[in-house]
Amino acid sequence: HSVITADGMLTESYLDTGNRSAFQQKGKVVRIGGTVKTWANNAGAPLEVARAFVEPLFHALEGRENSVLGCRLPEETVETTSNPDLHLVTETGATIRPMRQNGQKYSFMLPPGTQSVRIVSRASRPADVIGPFVDDRRYMGVAVADVRLLCATQPYNITAHLQAEKPEGWHASKATDYAWTNGNAVLPLGAHLPAGTMGILSMNIRAAGPYLVNDQQKKEMAARSA
């Protein structure tokens, strides 16, 4: 393993960090196993993934690509949207659309007996929406801040998503006042809505989008084929 020159540019040869088994080969060539390596201890050059370092290099190479003979690439347009298409899905599979939206505050009417919901929205990866120079390949849905459940005249603060141990579908975060979903996150509500009692769930969305429209189309096709 080392830094090598390929097509006139310095690059680094493949480093086995544990995914060698994903490669397949045919014929009588026998693979000799080795110890798994790490970028921290075995890299040929220091690995730097910070956007401030990578983005200028990316744009410099991008500016050169069309000057290479035979390598002019067609421009690709990517359609994005800032609309999260935010809605809830109950334990019974019912879809609940917002009854009201005021800026970043969304309100939903919940049926009696609801003890948990899924917060469903569009989701895209920053590496796809912003650019490959962003080292974040998580699917990001919406950033949910404070959540309140109003039952009759009694309000309840819902904070399961702000705890260190988060329910399914929430990204770990150092922030304590909001958390990002992956586009389909469980939010436990407790037993505050007994039979015969409806409630209003309100949540503040700290941030949302942008999203690739194509990601939403893929998700809808997968849902229809399931």
Percentage with pLDDT > 90 across the chain: 57
* 99 and 162 share one domain: yes
Judge whether 89 lies within some domain. yes
Judge whether 77 lies within some domain. no
* 120 and 38 share one domain: no
Judge whether 181 lies within some domain. yes
Judge whether 74 lies within some domain. no
* 55 and 95 share one domain: no
Query: For residues 2 and 13, is the Cβ–Cβ distance under 8 A?
Result: yes
Q: What is the pLDDT of residues 41-66, one digit of tens each?
A: 888 888 899 999 999 999 888 877 76
Give the closest residue to 52 by CA, choosing from 123, 115, 135.
135
Instruction: Collect all residues with Cβ–Cβ distance below 8 Å to 2 and sequence separation of at least 6.
Output: 12, 13, 44
* 101 and 180 share one domain: yes
Res 24: pLDDT: 73
User: Where is the domain boundary, 31, 65, 99?
Assistant: 65
Instruction: Collect all residues with Cβ–Cβ distance below 8 Å to 190 and sequence separation of at least 6.
Output: 115, 156, 158
* 200 and 146 share one domain: yes
* Residue 21: HSE in the Cβ half-sphere, 13 Å Cα cutoff: 3
C-alpha distances (whole Å) from 54 to each of 58, 61, 107 are 6, 11, 41
* 33 and 98 share one domain: no
The H or E element that residue 57 is part of is helix 51-65
Whole-prediction pTM value?
0.81
Q: What is the pLDDT of residues 106-148, one digit of tens each?
A: 999 999 999 999 999 999 999 999 999 999 999 999 999 999 9
Domain that holds residue 34: 3-65
Judge whether 76 lies within some domain. no
Structure-token pair, residue 7: 């097509």
Q: Rounded CA gap, 226 and 101, in Å?
A: 31
Q: Which residue did the predictor score with more confidence, 126 or 153?
A: 126
* 122 and 220 share one domain: yes
The H or E element that residue 80 is part of is strand 80-81
Q: Rounded CA gap, 39 and 211, in Å?
A: 31
* 54 and 151 share one domain: no
Res 43: pLDDT: 87
Judge whether 73 lies within some domain. no
* 159 and 202 share one domain: yes
Report how many domains make up the chain: 2
pLDDT band at 103 (very low <50, low <70, confident <90, very high): very high
* 99 and 179 share one domain: yes
Judge whether 215 lies within some domain. yes
C-alpha distances (whole Å) from 149 to each of 16, 159, 188, 201 are 49, 11, 11, 5
Q: What is the pLDDT of residues 192-226, one digit of tens each?
A: 888 778 999 999 999 999 999 876 555 554 543 34
Judge whether 156 lies within some domain. yes
* 37 and 116 share one domain: no
* 149 and 44 share one domain: no
